[in-house]
Structure formats: C-alpha cells, structure tokens
Chains A and B, each alone.
Chain A
Amino acid sequence: GQNIDQPTEMTATEGAIVQINCTYQTSGFNGLFWYQQHAGEAPTFLSYNVLDGLEEKGRFSSFLSRSKGYSYLLLKELQMKDSASYLCAVRDSNYQLIWGAGTKLIIKP
C-alpha cells in the first residue's frame, strides 16, 4: 500500500529552527509537495521537490532523497504565524497526490 509518515505534532521556540520529516512509500514517484494549513483554512503551497537535494525559499527549505524515500521541511527564524499544520504529499505514478496526515507545529514565545 501507499503510505506517508510525518510526526503528529512538534513544538519549537520563536526565532529557532525546526525540521519536519516525511517518509513515504508509494507506487512510483513524480514529485513531493509541502503545504501549510492554518486552522480552519485551506492548504497553501510551500514547495515542490522532484530531484534529490535542497530547495530554498526564503525562511523555508525542503530536502528530498528519493533513494531513501525521505523529505524534510526546514523552517528558520520561526515566527508565531508559522504555527500551523504542515502537510507532505507525494505524487505517485498515476499522478495522484497521496497525502500525509500533517504535522501540527506549535510555536512558543
């Protein structure tokens, strides 16, 4: 079966750095996405990885290792507004998005 694993919840301190991991087992791979979802709102697109390595976008970076079935989202200089759920999604060989359950990130002052 297809499976995506992410931690359920993480806590970090304002101004610090946090890494949210995602491991996946899917039938084929056509890219990995990270989305941010604030409570009661729809997800917003953060990043996309299809090749191994690190993609940097301002305070957010995303890393992919296809051989390990592993990705992480790195958030730097954390701000209170970064408190949200972070969803990892993998596009399989049928171009379907397989969603992780999301990681709830709590930022403390």
Chain B
Amino acid sequence: GAVVSQHPSWVICKSGTSVKIECRSLDFQATTMFWYRQFPKQSLMLMATSNEGSKATYEQGVEKDKFLINHASLTLSTLTVTSAHPEDSSFYICSARDLTGGEADTQYFGPGTRLTVL
C-alpha cells in the first residue's frame, strides 16, 4: 500500500517552455502533498505544501508564480514549472501524507521527475 506515482519520470525541454509534473496517490487519499527539489549531491528541499481544495503554501524563496501547484483532487497534485530556465534543472520529487494507514502520518514519495532545461 501507500504508492505514489509521478509522471513524467524525466523530461527535457527548451528554455522558456513550461513543464507540468503530475503526482498521484494510487491507493490512498492524500489531503496533503509535498513538492521537493533536489540538486545533485544535496539534500531534499521542500518547495511547497499542497492542500486539496486550497492554495499551496510555498517555502521562503520559492516563487509561487513560477512554480504553479494545483491540488484539485484527493489523489492528484500537479506542479507546473513555467518559463523554465537551465537553473531549474533538477530532480523534482513529490510526496503524499497517508493519514489512514502506515506509520503515524508518514510521507510516501513518488519516484521523482528529472527535469533538464536546455
């Protein structure tokens, strides 16, 4: 149980284009999902907390107009990187909080999306 999927697993795009990443909880409902970014050999950095039916909460320094988050249902959150630039190239990982099972509100991670902006 507690499976989270992400799509796509990798994407290469041109500078200036927008990229949408989907995060789905497959076997549980997630009222809260989290979006992380991880640069090579660095730790996870929380970008934003996505709450179903309400606006996302962004961490300090994360541009909400650049990283658009939509959590329209209990099983789906999307992250859109708008007008992507090479410095946005990173490993983007989502996680979902399972409140109904698992161990005490554990976050389960999707497999990640590797974004390369040329």
Interface residues of chain A, those whose CB is within 8 Å of chain B, are 31, 33, 35, 40-45, 48, 50, 87, 91, 95-97, 99-102
Contact = CB atoms under 8 A, between A and B. Distances in A.
A99 B109 contact: no
Nearest to B110: A42
Contacts of B79: none
B72 interface: no
A43 B44 contact: yes
Contact of B111 (A33, A41, A99): A41
Given A41-B112, A42-B112, A87-B44, A97 B107 contact: yes
B106 interface: yes
A58 B109 CA distance: 22
A102 B43 contact: yes
B103 interface: yes
A43 B43 contact: no
B104 A99 contact: no
A79 B112 CA distance: 25
A99 B47 CA distance: 13
Contacts of B34: 97
Given A42-B112, A101-B42, 6 more contacts: A43-B109, A97-B46, A97-B107, A99-B43, A101-B43, A102-B43
Interface size class of B (residues with CB under 8 A): 10 to 19
B44 A99 contact: yes
Contacts of A97: 34, 46, 107
Contacts of B106: 33, 45, 48
A42 B93 contact: yes
Nearest to B49: A96
Q: Which 6 A-B pairs have the closest CB atoms?
A: A42-B109, A101-B43, A42-B112, A48-B103, A42-B93, A43-B109
